[in-house]
Amino acid sequence: MGMVADESVILTTDVIATVASFCWERSMVSADHCLTQLADQCIALLTQHGKERVIAPVLDAALGCRVERVAGYDTDLLGTFTRDIPRAGTQIEAARRKARIGMELAGLSLGLASEGSFGPDPFAGMFPWNVEFLIFIDDLREIEVVGVAEGKAASAYHLAEDWTAVEVFARKVGFPGHYLVLRPEGEGDPRIRKGITAWSELEAAYAWAVMQSTNGRVFLEVDHRAHANPTRMDNIRLAAEDLVRKLLSQCSACGAPGFWIIERVAGLPCGDCGAPTREIRAEIHGCIKCGHRVTRERTDRQYADPGRCAYCNP
């Protein structure tokens, strides 16, 4: 936990410096004032999978708040990655429901919750991909702000015919750093062993599954729960950093946090013919509270590469 906390504080310090400069340049509310809104406030975080280890250091250091882990509720009842309990609703709906439960249990008006999803990467569809949402709910200001992070995932499965195949798969996915889940026969078998963390446990679970299996095969998959999947935990930390950036960015009209990009406008002119391209020309920032909007033209580039132009490079 110590190493993770130290990394989070260092990264968060960079976030504060970046956003403070941004607020000054855009004549927005100063970063010092941004910090006072949540300073010394308690924020409920409902989790039973250790997410507080990467979320709390980031938010506490950047905002001066106190993220408090809330226990007393089995979050697996809201859905499991092993599919024995399906998740109801969308990813963001599940995160919101989890945050609300934590706020109610803790009796707090501020709440946090994280929810992840796994699937193919959005570019080529060839690699496992993880998307993490971290929702912040503030009932006093009546706002919700969502931090997002995504990246390659530690996610894989294999139907093993013998122990050698089990060993090969386990080493390939980074076991025991990443925990394993095991079932007899196939993916749909309701008999399951979760949270396998050591080779001795894996051997015992394999022996059990082979005895239960009528076809002699054993289904293995990477455990996707946060405490069992360091790769996913890194993405949760990045989602916390994204949430901090958004909370530190306040609306110049009403002062509400979460003044962030709501739309990107294409049309950056071609550097050769001047025709509009699909490259981003501007970003529209919007307030989630009062609806105030500001269009910010791109400053890093004035023209697009002709290779991105439909006329110069049809």
Is 115 in the same domain as 134? Answer: yes
Residue 73 within any structural domain of the chain: yes
Q: What is the pLDDT of residue 184?
A: 96
Residues 169-184 as b or e (16 or more Cβ within 10 Å = b): bbeebebeebbbbbbb
Is 236 in the same domain as 270? Answer: no
Residue 20 within any structural domain of the chain: yes
Among 10-14, 27-31, 86-90, the range of highest mean pLDDT:
86-90
Residue 257 within any structural domain of the chain: no
Residue 313 within any structural domain of the chain: no
What CATH number is attached to the domain comprising 191?
3.30.1490.20
Residue 314 within any structural domain of the chain: no
Is 52 in the same domain as 114? Answer: yes
Is 142 in the same domain as 246? Answer: yes
Q: What is the pTM of this model?
A: 0.84
Is 147 in the same domain as 164? Answer: no
Residue 140 within any structural domain of the chain: yes
pLDDT band at 18 (very low <50, low <70, confident <90, very high): very low
Q: What is the pLDDT of residue 135?
A: 98
Q: What is the pLDDT of residue 36?
A: 59
Please report, to the nearest 10 degrees, the dihedral formed by the alpha carbons of residues 228, 45, 130, 142 taken in order: 170
- Domain interval for residue 274: 262-308
What CATH number is attached to the domain comprising 16?
3.90.950
* Whole-number Cα distances in Å, 134 to 95, 129, 131, 224, 239: 7, 17, 10, 16, 6
Q: Please give the tally of structural domains in the chain.
A: 3
